[in-house]
A and B are shown apart, each in its own frame.
Chain A
């Protein structure tokens, strides 16, 4: 029972981090049609800013979370304004450009912060504190991560489905001319969406840094995980990213616990099976 419970809770909390990372990319890719491979790097930037604020400068952890999110949001916005807005619908160019940005950010990060792996960090009030659940303890940090994930999911879902902005964004991707014809400044909306996506990525970076190390290769490694999540969950919706994240988190945890020798395979198996049965992902919009 312990085994099941601990893996379940661990899987959910890990899956929440995956959701937070993937949510932004899923929206940007599915709704704006932009392939941004540097999304993982935005996560990484958030983590490093958070590290600088909290570990190096010794300031408040929650401030670090906010700072990481804001900086990533701004960087993301700059990327959109300077580069991506010129590449509307040109997938190849977006791929190469953002891949180049990955190279650049990884190296800049190494230049500024050094190549060493930075250890996990968390607020002192959370550090090594656990909650007792029967015969085993569950770390407080994971509970915080889960709560963050749920809150962000609710906010984003509300924005997406229940507000006018959300409707505009969804319509804008399907029919750009029509939306512009209605007098809506699509560029502004586009900027806002990209900012929010990057903001969430940066937020995820600091929140996730409680669990994962921070290092220059983080951007690329996170990208792989993000791809897995959006494949399984489906592109273009918050619900998809959430389902994808949780599923991958659970499959990863149970897979590694039950079949440790196949640890590397489990995620890829899941991806391939989903892609073959329902290619658009479990909650994706069928094209």
Chain B
């Protein structure tokens, strides 16, 4: 009997794993530079999206200001480049993590004083405030523009290192995998389950003795550094940062990606990120003027017909398939 279970396990896990490895690790070698670039962008937004999923999908906090941490991470890298002339990833990455976490400590404390729609609006207002700061304070801007340009590829301090679009892609891939793994561990931990419990019924959790506010606050703080790292990677990828990275549009991205892919699943937002990034890019090449229309239609259709999200639908499909397959083998 255990042999059957083992067979089932290996089969249903192995094939997707191989598939994903092929897609993310092998194929990009053969892709042209600009497609590698889009794959990099996809990974960056995937990290941003899974960071958001922790507070949105798992904890049920609808924030419209997650860009605050994304932008903070990006600006950390940018400021190091502009004012201190360094593109060292060790400095940039660590600073991005520290700044975004500290920001979350402050913003989370303020935002979590309220709930529901008010939480949504307050997170939005705080991110907009950071937008204004980035726009107006000269120290956060390269001369003659809004934002900071001339950011170079990251450097790991390895003598003789040469960076290209391809190396950046694999670098980002490694970081993305690490972030995913850590977040996966967090969501599967008792802490993660407590967050889900709060989403499902906060009153019940309080009755059980949990300090729900503290859990929400901790969740909010833990999600931030991942978004900050995504922002830092974005700065290295785009080679510049602008106040738009604090804006409403940026805050919407992870929410949209999470909903399309399936909230509260972690892999759902990854798929959602893929859908949004790739459709946006290729649609704009095919129809430079009408692509937002296509994107909007996809959003609307996915809500009307794929309620639990694209990622979840694929997962359920796979479950059905591998189960029936397993049965026929036994």
Contact = CB atoms under 8 A, between A and B. Distances in A.
Interface of A: 29, 35, 83, 86-87, 91-93, 95-97, 99-104, 106-108, 110-111, 220, 224, 227-228, 230-231, 235, 261-262, 264-265, 268-269, 271-272, 275-276, 279-280, 287
B260 interface: yes
14 contacts: A83-B300, A83-B303, A87-B303, A100-B303, A101-B300, A103-B296, A104-B296, A224-B128, A228-B125, A265-B132, A268-B125, A272-B110, A275-B121, A279-B114
Contacts of B125: 228, 231, 268, 271-272, 275
Contact of A224 (B135, B248, B290, B296): B248
B162 interface: no
Interface stretch (B37-45, B70-78, B251-259): B251-259
B101 to A, nearest CB: 21
Interface of B is mostly: helix
Given A92-B259, A97-B299, A268-B132, A107 B290 contact: yes
B129 A268 contact: yes
Contact of B121 (A91, A227, A262): A227
B259 A93 contact: yes
Contacts of B186: none
Contacts of B122: 231, 271-272, 275, 279
Interface string B278-301: 000000000001101101111110
Contacts of B293: 103-104, 107-108, 111
Contacts of B3: none
Nearest to A37: B252
Given A107-B293, A271-B125, A279-B118, A100 B298 contact: yes
A96 B299 CA distance: 7
Given A83-B303, A103-B293, A268-B129, 17 more contacts: A35-B117, A86-B304, A87-B303, A93-B307, A95-B259, A97-B299, A100-B297, A101-B300, A107-B292, A227-B121, A262-B136, A268-B132, A271-B122, A272-B110, A276-B113, A279-B118, A287-B116
A35 B259 CA distance: 15
Contacts of B117: 29, 35, 235
Contact of B118 (A220, A268, A275): A275
B136 A264 contact: yes
B124 interface: yes
Given A224-B248, A272-B126, A231 B300 contact: no
B289 to A, nearest CB: 7
Interface of B: 62, 110, 113-118, 121-122, 124-126, 128-129, 132, 135-136, 248, 252, 255-256, 259-260, 263, 289-290, 292-293, 295-300, 302-304, 307
Contacts of B289: 110-111
Nearest to B301: A100
B110 A96 contact: no
A95 B64 CA distance: 11
Contact of A91 (B62, B260, B300): B62
Nearest to B118: A279
B300 A100 contact: yes
Contact of B255 (A95, A110, A271): A95
A22 B175 CA distance: 43
Contacts of B136: 261-262, 264-265
Given A275-B114, A276-B113, A111 B290 contact: yes
Interface centre among B135, B136, B263 (most CB of A within 10 A): B136
Given A107-B290, A264-B132, A271-B121, A276 B296 contact: no
A92 B110 contact: no
Contacts of B290: 107, 111
A287 B304 CA distance: 30
A101 B248 CA distance: 16
B263 A92 contact: yes
Given A93-B307, A271-B121, A275-B122, A100 B132 contact: no
Nearest to B298: A100
A86 B62 CA distance: 21
Nearest to A96: B259
B290 to A, nearest CB: 6
A228 B122 CA distance: 10
Nearest to A35: B117
B294 to A, nearest CB: 9
A268 B129 CA distance: 6
Nearest to B128: A268
B271 to A, nearest CB: 15
Contacts of B135: 264
A26 to B, nearest CB: 11
Contacts of B62: 91-92, 95
Given A96-B256, A227-B121, A279-B118, A103 B263 contact: no
A145 B302 CA distance: 40
